[in-house]
Structure 1
């Protein structure tokens, strides 16, 4: 019979370790929320460059179910330039945010029954430096791009797992949406190369999941006209007309007649929320003017009363109205706030801004004050970003070929990265279909298809 001492040693080796997270990062309460958290929260900075104090901000919500064994999932919003607090406040975070009782008052926080923290340790990362609560004391760090963002995120992860060694054996996944379709494969590539080199701590990386991912210009943005027709947003006559004029190519280098027909389609869709065509669109008239400032449409086409002011003359580029159409072209990426003097068109960010600009909130989550890093912005113009990696198809082929698990999913009402383009590039990778297309259910209701 084994001795009691031996049994204790074996138990200590097999039993999941208690959370050993840095106590100075523990979030003990949040303005607007009353009651106890269902699980522990941690937040703070991880410095990825000591010389400039370039530091990335994270917010971690431990799993309500079993933090010692549940996966660690990192969430990234896109942009480039969008804070991942977008997902925290408006998406899969631990709370639902309700507007305050009066203008400017703090929102009320209620527990989100659909939070991803129900089944995972989920962490929201503001990346790169200059986005959200992340910052650098050297503003030249805000000149960045895909490759630097990926390298910094990998440095962050290595240091973060040193801070939280109890999670080094947990399955690790990277998740996000939109331009995170570029962030995630490039960060994953850095992580995988680190694993292959034997970099410590070893990250127990298992795969990634991306919603409506920006991936490849030809696939992503040639799908918006067929998508608009399929959703009944434009008439069949208009669709057949533009298809004949453009010979099936709706983005990139096109002739003047095709460009005019594309602009006519865009004009018909201008009042829609491009990120969810069923949702309200919060915008100002000048945004419409900006989006069509380089349009080939004659003034006579615009319906009476929509605008009678002349539009400024600018160099015309196909697909100008969606910033991501420029973001996926190699080279400098213009930020929407810099172009329009505000955040994303159709996007209401008042609740998040009110909460995250409150100094008591910042103190509670261990974020720097506005006097040092400025106001929180859903989508910032602080960074100067270059898309320097090209198509993501090369990354997806490599990473799936190595056996990592990948989930690509799409909201079927997203006009910015329409699902038909995503389906097309996924098919182009060449994997065989192993199961038929079928609905999935939430309760007894069809919630989508896969």
Structure 2
């Protein structure tokens, strides 16, 4: 029996070596500048998504799981904006490293999702991060065009990494990825039906603070302000009365509803009152975290070797800012195989100057796509920071209750969920496939403001449950 066991282990090891050798060696990163030693490999490069090799290309960053990468699933990470770099976001959220305080090096991310999964970060749409096109019209993005390009990317990426074709696949992302991820999942499932060859082994979706019904989210911020006693009942009631042009039951048919001038004025008054400021001193980034002040550092500080740090209740608000500075170092761009077109403008975490997105698409209702996925038995986990006023938890919960109602699914469980023997937030189970978790103390970016809780959610409510 021992002899047979040795043979099995040897054959298994041989399979792992053969499979790992199928990775594209030209995309392998030896080591990033200032990076600590790691026991996993990293790959970056471009996937050309049209016949013209230099015409339209998406940039990616692939990270192996820390342990047994050939056994672990693959998780795609897309960030929102729309127009933000998923690759850059990985260095202040779920990726294996975070940028050091002086923005010239890296340190290990103790809460990286590659502890339990392989990770694939994709700069999408065109114009995000290092993704580009030689056709200027490609920078006028929208949901449909973005999704078509992403589907082509996935097909071509699997050709480059064929070992992952049969492995479990999770799609994850935050903010406007509430559009990107469900649309991509829908496209992958449709491709499965039409293709006689490989199938995308989609296991589930993970969405952080997702934009699902943007106009109702605009209104929900005032529910949040009122619940936190940031605005008084008189102003709150005026806003609710004047801005009631959106019918939740018929959201799709109310997309073109326009806020009245009175409504817009009341909304502005509500925001300024909530943050006890005036129009001259208001900082829009406050909406991303209603209780913590945004990072106020600038590039000049880092250029003279200062440190950019702003710790507020255990959250470093300058982490995304440092990632942007790190990605503009020439040695970093060389190590990343990035910026192959030698762009004239600096790398930005979000919103390069030539990037545009269809505003009408940003206001679309995503419940029909989620409904379609749930009807095909695709599990969906949604988590949301309770200090986010961009997409407040109160609005997301209302959207999901509406979705459950349309599917005739009842709220089967509502309870607190615990994290390290403390309250992590509230958990709402809608049947067996849809779960919503609020994250106590989390802002619009739970993966950076509450990274340990985010990893706990990903490990226990996604990998251990869905896999």
CA distance in structure 2 between the aligned counterparts of 1:361 and 1:386, rounded to whole angstroms = 32
Instruction: Tell me the SS of whatever aligns to 2:172.
Output: strand
2:369 is the counterpart of 1:368: no
Q: How far apart are residue 432 of structure 1 and its match?
A: 2.7
Report what 1:238 is aligned to: 235
Q: Say if 1:33 and 1:15 are closer, same or farther in 2 by CA, change over 3 A.
A: closer
- Counterpart residue number, 1:306: none
**For residues 107-186 of structure 1, what are the structure 2 equivalents within 5 Å?**
107-186=104-183
Correspondence for 2:292: 279
Which whole-Å deviations, capped at 9, do the CAs of 1:364-408 have from their partners, x for residues lacking one?
A: 111125734642111123222225653111111111111111112
| Counterpart position of 2:436 | none
Is the alpha carbon distance of 1:185 and 1:379 closer, same or farther for their aligned partners in structure 2, counting shifts above 3 Å?
same
Query: Secondary structure of the residue that 2:90 maps to in structure 1?
Result: helix
Work out the CA distance in 2 between the residues paired with 1:374 and 1:397.
41
Indicate conservation of the 8 Å contact 1:162/1:201, yes or no.
no
1:137 to 1:245, Cα distance in 2 relative to 1, 3 A: closer
Whether 1:258 aligns to 2:263 is: yes
Shift of residue 199, structure 1, vs aligned partner: 5.6
- Three-state SS of the structure 2 residue aligned to 1:410 is strand
1:384: which partner in 2? Answer: 356
Q: Deviations over 1:11-62 (max 9, x none)?
A: 569955631211111111010113x213111111111013253111111111
Instruction: Please say which structure displays the higher CA radius of gyration.
Output: 1
Give how far 1:181 is off: 0.8
Number of aligned residue pairs: 380
Whether 1:207 aligns to 2:204 is yes
Matched, 1:41 2:42: yes
Separation (CA, whole Å) in 1 of partners of 2:121 and 2:242: 45
Q: Distance in 1 between matches of 2:244 and 2:55?
A: 52
- Answer yes or no: is the 8 Å Cα contact 2:99–2:319 preserved in 1: no
How many Å separate the matches in 2 of 1:199 and 1:388? 35
8 Å CA contact retained: 2:290, 2:388: yes
CA distance in 2, matches of 1:428, 1:265: 26
Task: Tell me, in whole angstroms, the C-alpha distance in 2 between the residues paired with 1:256 and 1:128.
Answer: 33
Distance 1:216 1:241, change over 3 A: closer
- Given the two structures, how large is their TM-score scaled by the length of structure 1? 0.77
Q: Note the residue ranges of structure 1 that are not aligned, 5 or more in a row.
A: 101-105, 285-345
Q: Distance between the aligned counterparts of 1:114 and 1:141, measured in 2? A: 36
- When residues 74 and 258 of structure 1 are mapped into structure 2, their CA distance, relative to the original with a 3 A threshold, is same
Higher helix share: 2
Matched, 1:355 2:326: yes
RMSD (Å), alpha carbons: 2.9
- TM-score scaled by length of structure 2: 0.74
| Alpha-carbon separation, structure 2, partners of 1:435 and 1:178 | 26
Distance 1:247-1:179 versus aligned 2 partners, 3 A rule: closer
Summarize deviations over 1:195-238 as a string: whole Å, max 9, x none. Answer: 11016432111221111111123432221111111122212343
Residue 425 (structure 1) aligns with: 399
Corresponding position: 1:74 with 2:76: yes
CA shift for structure 1 position 244: 4.3
Report if aligned partners of 1:357, 1:370 keep a CA contact under 8 Å in 2.
no
- The corresponding residue for 1:31 is 33
Q: Deviations over 1:144-197 (max 9, x none)?
A: 211111011111111111111111111101111111111112112211110110
Are 1:147 and 1:388, in contact at CA under 8 Å, matched by a contact in 2? no
Q: Deviations over 1:309-358 (max 9, x none)?
A: xxxxxxxxxxxxxxxxxxxxxxxxxxxxxxxxxxxxx9875412221111
Distance 1:39 1:348 in 2: 23
Whole-Å separation in 1 of the counterparts to 2:160 and 2:366: 31
Within 1, Cα distance between the matches of 2:112 and 2:12? 32
